[in-house]
Amino acid sequence: MGRAASKTMIGAFVLGAVALAVIAVVIFGSGKFFTSKQLFELNFEGSVQGLDIGSPVIFRGVKIGSVTDITLEFQPKELSFRIPVTIEIEPDKARRLGPPPGKTGELLKPLIDRGLRGQLQTTSYVTGQLAVALDFFPDKPAKLLGGAHARYPEIPTVPSMFAQLTKTVQELPIEELFAKLDSTIGAINELVNSDETQASVRSLNQTLKHASAVMKSIESRIGPLAASLQTTSDGINAVAGKVSDSLSGDKGVPVQFQQTLETARKTLVQAEEALAAVHAMAEENSNMGFELGNALNEMSRSMRSLRVMSDYLERHPEALLMGKKGQ
């Protein structure tokens, strides 16, 4: 019996030694046992759903630690809750240039003064997992929620982007905005369907139709007017030729020349009447006929000059060859 008991104890001892050896290999082999670590506390007022123990702590995308503890604390005086989150940072993750700090957290205050803050960030929109992100926010005030109750050196926090957006939406006067929107839509609908607006639309439509008709009428008269002017010009040229031929033979005024001048004068009178009709129509539609009116005025002055010249030639046909008296 004694020999059997001895074998059992020896076997148990051997198994225990093997187990301790395996544990030692795991612990010491990972190197974490000798790794220098620092604990810090961050306090959040909003929800930390998606943040778990073991969630990463990152600084500008680089993992420098992990979350080790998440608790919920009630503050009776303020009747409020805060959520202290303990993080573990591995200083060896960042290579330091210069002498090492004397005490743990000795460098924390200067970093906080420069704007070091903690913020919750989403690592996966599919799973909703969160991480604690450290970065510099110099425009955000350093608000230490833990104060004297903090168990570790505290890093101030700032609301996440989602929390800021939610707060902004909650502060919006939604009911007032919808009331104003409804009132605006009603006013627009009333304006569009009002009798004045409908009358204005009908009046505008009639004005456009009238303007189109006026332009067509003007176009229909411009053609004959141009033809009449061309005929007048040709008649004047013919008169000049006949006067030259007549005066080269004798100094009298032939009956044929007088008839030609009379024909030219009548043509000028007809042209002036046509110009006056078109000019009157352009004045009735001054907005569209302003430029046309200017052109017609020039043409009217030309017609008057031609008529004066025709009258003068009728009295003094010799002026075509000898010029006007006194020149």
CB 90 within 8 A of CB 64: yes
pLDDT surpassing 80 at residue 88: yes
pLDDT surpassing 70 at residue 83: yes
Cα dihedral value 248, 253, 254, 260, nearest 10:
100
**Band of pLDDT at residue 249, cut at 50, 70 and 90:** very low
More confident site: 13 or 45: 45
**Band of pLDDT at residue 75, cut at 50, 70 and 90:** confident
Q: Which residues contact 59 (CB under 8 A, 6 or more apart)?
A: 94, 133, 134, 135
Residues in a beta bridge with 120: 132
Q: How far is CA 159 from CA 43, 120, 165, in A?
A: 11, 7, 10
Cα–Cα dist 327/313, whole Å:
15
**Band of pLDDT at residue 26, cut at 50, 70 and 90:** low
Q: How far is CA 278 from CA 230, 300, 301, in A?
A: 17, 11, 14
Q: Considering the entire predicted model, what is its pTM?
A: 0.45
At 134 the pLDDT is: 93
What is the tens place of the pLDDT at every residue in 236-245? 666 666 655 6
Mean pLDDT of 289-296: 58
Cα–Cα dist 59/135, whole Å:
6
**Band of pLDDT at residue 160, cut at 50, 70 and 90:** confident
Cα–Cα dist 140/158, whole Å:
7
Using the 8-state DSSP alphabet, how is residue 83 labeled? E
CB 66 within 8 A of CB 57: yes
CB 73 within 8 A of CB 22: no
At 132 the pLDDT is: 93
Mean pLDDT of 18-37: 61
The rounded mean pLDDT for the chain is 74
At 109 the pLDDT is: 85
CB 306 within 8 A of CB 268: yes
Residue 106: strand, helix, or coil: coil
Cα–Cα dist 301/307, whole Å:
10
Percent of the chain with pLDDT over 70: 56
